[in-house]
Amino acid sequence: MDIPKARTPRRKPYLLAALGLALLVAVTVGLSRLRPAAPTVDKASVWLDTVKRGPLVRQVKGTGSLVPESIRWLTADTAGRVERIHVRPGATVTAGTLLLELSNPDVQLQALEAERQLASAEGDFLELREVLQTQRLSQQATVAALTAEAADATRRSQANTALFQKSFAGDLETRQAQDKAQEAGQRLELERQRLDVMSQSLRQRLASQQEQVERLKAVARFRRQQVESMKVLAGEDGVLQELPLELGQWVTPGVLLAKVVKPERLKAELRIAETQARDILPGLKAQVDTRNGIVEGIVARVAPAASQGTVRVEVSLPDALPKGARPDLTVEGTVELERLDDVLSVGRPAGAQAESTLALFRLMPGGDEAVRIPVKLGRGSVNAVEVVQGLSEGDQVVLSDMTAWDAVERVRLR
């Protein structure tokens, strides 16, 4: 008869299940800690530069044109119709060259009327002066007659007084002689005062009439100038650059008639971005590329206000310019701000502004992976910028526009 044996507990399946579970947890934790794969960027499509230490020349650049230093704008002083055009743009002119002629009958009539009024006023002035001088002469004659009469009365009074004292004349006669002498003296004084008043009035009335004559002279002179201005002269030696008129065209006062320039003296007018023009001062060195050669110049003036996002900078140029330099020629200018001796610098990244912080991709040493890091920038130039913090000498960074990769912190360059 068989004797039943006790079963031994089977632990192996449980151990295997526990080991599998632990392995699954470890794999899951390991996968969760893995970084996502970095996106790949074509290395040939980006611009890399190396951070270096050394001198840095700060410059700003802008485009502009050559303009004459001496420009004479000729505008219409009065309305008129173009009757003749004697010279066309491009011709060399002198100060007395007749460029064109205008006509306006109303202006000529106004000039004639001003001359008539002036002649009439001058006639009135002469007539008034004659009348007033005649009156003054008549009054002077009256004063002279009264002077003699008063002197005679005084002598008679003195004689009667002497006779009275010797009892040769009566008291009544003596008193009558004294009264006549006193009356003659008073009349003389009154006539002298009248002469003074008349003389003063004569001067005032003549001065007033003279002022009226002078005003009419100024009006007549202005009307004559208007008539003369219809014959448009160049005004100075140079080249006629513009004459935007045709025969029969009617012009109004203030309309541009012509433009005369001196082409031998040119300057450059550059347009510098307002964000880069804050350090530009008169006296700084500048280089102007005329497409036919580079010319050294000096900043002469900086516009006090910006216009359409740019600041106008005038650069004075030497007398001798490359062949082909002419007014309105498009040029490119570079202004040198300062020279920095020993600074960290790198090529100017896309969209970088001086004195700002920018995120750049730095290439890891010995690999093809680039990591985004914050970089503090300092003073900037046209093609380079100072590195204040975030990079070291020898680091390679991506300068191209990487806005497409703003969502990632690493890229792989292949």
- Asked, for residue 7, whether it belongs to a domain, the answer is no
Same domain, 273 and 366: yes
pLDDT in single tens digits along all 414 residues of the chain:
455 555 555 555 666 677 777 777 666 655 455 455 678 888 888 888 999 999 988 888 999 999 998 889 999 999 999 999 999 998 999 999 999 999 999 999 999 999 999 999 889 888 888 888 888 888 888 888 888 877 877 877 777 777 767 666 677 777 777 778 788 778 888 888 888 888 888 888 888 888 999 999 999 999 999 999 999 999 888 889 889 999 999 999 999 999 998 887 899 999 998 888 888 999 999 999 988 889 999 999 999 998 888 999 999 999 888 888 888 899 999 999 888 888 899 988 888 888 889 889 898 887 788 889 999 998 888 888 899 988 888 888 998 888 888 888 888 887
Question: Can you tell me the distance from the alpha carbon of 82 to that of 93, in angstroms, rounded to the nearest whole number?
Answer: 20
Same domain, 63 and 76: no
**In this structure, are residues 137 and 122 in contact, taking their beta carbons and an 8 Å threshold?**
no
Same domain, 76 and 110: no
- Asked, for residue 20, whether it belongs to a domain, the answer is no
- Asked, for residue 29, whether it belongs to a domain, the answer is no
Same domain, 303 and 352: yes
**In this structure, are residues 360 and 375 in contact, taking their beta carbons and an 8 Å threshold?**
yes
Same domain, 214 and 148: yes
- Asked, for residue 6, whether it belongs to a domain, the answer is no
- Asked, for residue 12, whether it belongs to a domain, the answer is no
Same domain, 64 and 81: no
Same domain, 381 and 247: no
- Asked, for residue 125, whether it belongs to a domain, the answer is yes
Tell me the sheet residues that pair with 315: 268, 299
Question: Whole-model pTM?
Answer: 0.57
Question: Can you tell me the distance from the alpha carbon of 275 to that of 353, in angstroms, rounded to the nearest whole number?
Answer: 9
- Strands 410-413 vs 40-41: parallel, antiparallel or unpaired: parallel
Q: Exposed, middle or buried, 342 (CB in 10 Å: 0-12/13-18/19+)?
A: exposed
Same domain, 398 and 249: no
Question: Can you tell me the distance from the alpha carbon of 245 to that of 39, in angstroms, rounded to the nearest whole number?
Answer: 65
What are the C-alpha distances in Å from 256 to residues 62, 88, 223, 232, 332? 30, 15, 21, 12, 29
- Asked, for residue 27, whether it belongs to a domain, the answer is no
Domain residues for the domain of 243 are: 71-98+231-261
Same domain, 292 and 381: yes
Query: Tokens 């007084």 appear where?
Result: 161
- Asked, for residue 307, whether it belongs to a domain, the answer is yes
Kindly state the helix (H) or strand (E) to which residue 10 belongs, with its residue range: none
Same domain, 137 and 169: yes
CB atoms within 10 A of CB 49: 18
Residue 286's CATH number: 2.40.30.170
Same domain, 80 and 117: no
Residue 248's CATH number: 2.40.50.100
Question: Can you tell me the distance from the alpha carbon of 60 to that of 408, in angstroms, rounded to the nearest whole number?
Answer: 33
DSSP state letters, 169-224: S-HHHHHHHHHHHHHHHHHHHHHHHHHHHHHHHHHHHHHHHHHHHHHHHHHHHHHH
Same domain, 235 and 86: yes
Domain count, the chain: 3
What are the C-alpha distances in Å from 298 to residues 302, 327, 397? 11, 19, 36
